[in-house]
Amino acid sequence: MRLPLRIAPFLLGLMLAACAGIEVNTHYDPKAVPQLESFRTYAWLPQPEGKDPRVYNDIIDSYIRQAVDQELQGRGYKQVEANANPDFRIGWQGAIDSKVDVSTVNSYYGYGWDPYWNPYYGGVGMPYTHVYEYEEGTIILDMVDAKANKLVWRGTAQAEVNENPSASTTQKRIGEAVDEMLSRFPPKAEK
């Protein structure tokens, strides 16, 4: 069996393991950190509208709101009506994009001596290229200062989306993404 064919399952396993996680980033206005720390009440902005029905529907909206409410209320924040003068408002956006990952491995480098495939004994290090197509989902959470009507904090989470996820899997992944984003809210003041 040729070396590239022997390592293909291993490489595919590594790539899938690398894609399984949720990548989270947050951005905030450093001047707003003292305000963010004093926020205690929040209200939701209206449900966003978008063109992709896989993202913009009542079910996904309820999953996101439920995950955010559970996390924030578990930390002492109180949800109020939009007309009750909340400290901040929360909105969300989402997308699903097609992605391609291309990996090339040359069997000449990094592997032990093999008399049948060693380049010094007549074998040639043939490259093996794997193309992996997948869909990546993104959730964006925005925290808006209600009094100034100004964006003060944004969290983004990106992860690979399974082809046909079950409702429970979708809800679990959204919950994980929201928990990871909100673990960074409110941000700590930079020194």
Amino acid identity for residue 55 in this structure: V
Contact 92, 139 (CB under 8 A): yes
Q: pTM for the complete prediction?
A: 0.75
CA–CA distance, 156 with 153 (Å, rounded to integer): 10
Whole-number pLDDT of residue 166: 86
How does pLDDT run across 25-77, given as a tens digit for each residue? 999 999 999 889 899 999 999 988 888 898 999 999 999 999 999 999 999 99
How does pLDDT run across 129-174, given as a tens digit for each residue? 778 888 899 999 999 999 999 999 999 999 998 877 788 999 999 9
